[in-house]
């Protein structure tokens, strides 16, 4: 119920945001406003995550997945703002309405990275036992992962969340998420 209520409210915020941000995005960098990417979800099922596009269209021209970094040159000017405020993630409220994601849980990962990380750490597959989240314990305590090593460090937070999740923990994660968004602590 909380997922549905949040995502309905999120869609209203998204529509208002798009009125302001979409024209700026198109002026800053030609291309679509939305970005779709395959991610691994609950029980390993693949789904298309929806984000506001924050990078140039040629961000992965080689066809090979590339980790995003703090000062990534592929990020557009508007994209920097969207990432700093995490507003690029807001369209995922649609993924929540589709039941592909939840409000809180481990962030969904690209399949290529999930397979690589699963080979490195045998517990990585445990993340797939719950729905992926728009925000999570790893995001509010660690932030963006730039390498497979940092993703394995974030895994510790994901496993802790899965083991100890509760309404109280979810409320604390939501409050910390609001602080992250308002403080602009994104990449």
Span 70-101, pLDDT tens digits: 666 678 888 888 888 889 999 999 999 999 99
pLDDT of residue 18: 93
Write the pLDDT tens digit of every residue in 117-170.
888 888 888 999 999 999 999 988 886 666 667 777 888 999 999 999 999 999
Whole-angstrom distance, CA of residue 8 vs CA of residue 93: 8
**pTM of the model as a whole:** 0.84
**First-to-last C-alpha distance (Å) of the chain:** 31
3-state secondary structure of 149: helix
Whole-angstrom distance, CA of residue 150 vs CA of residue 123: 15
Residue 134 near residue 39 (C-beta atoms within 8 A): no
Whole-angstrom distance, CA of residue 47 vs CA of residue 82: 23
Asked if residue 69 has pLDDT above 60, the reply is no
Distance of CA 106 to the CA centre of its chain: 9
Tokens of 137: 């314990």
Enter the DSSP assignment of 43: G
Binned at pLDDT 50, 70 and 90, residue 2 comes out as: confident
| Beta-sheet pairing, 34-40 with 133-135 | unpaired
| Beta-sheet pairing, 102-104 with 133-135 | parallel
């Amino acid at each position: 119920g909380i997922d549905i209520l949040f995502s309905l409210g999120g869609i209203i915020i998204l529509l208002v945001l798009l009125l302001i941000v979409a024209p700026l995005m198109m002026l800053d960098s030609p291309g679509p406003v939305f970005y779709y990417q395959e991610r691994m979800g609950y029980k390993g099922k693949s789904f298309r995550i929806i984000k506001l596009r924050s990078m140039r269209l040629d961000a992965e021209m080689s066809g090979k997945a590339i980790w995003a970094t703090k000062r990534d040159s592929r990020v557009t000017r508007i994209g920097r703002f969207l990432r700093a405020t995490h507003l690029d993630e807001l369209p995922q409220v649609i993924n929540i309405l589709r039941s592909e994601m939840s409000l809180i849980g481990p962030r969904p990962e690209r399949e290529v990275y999930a397979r690589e990380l699963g080979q490195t750490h045998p517990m990585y597959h445990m993340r797939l036992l719950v729905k992926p989240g728009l925000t999570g314990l790893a995001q509010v305590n660690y932030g963006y992962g730039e390498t497979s090593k940092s993703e394995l460090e974030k895994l510790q937070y994901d496993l802790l969340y899965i083991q100890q999740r509760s309404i109280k923990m979810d409320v604390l994660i939501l409050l910390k998420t609001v602080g992250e968004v308002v403080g602009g602590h994104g990449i």
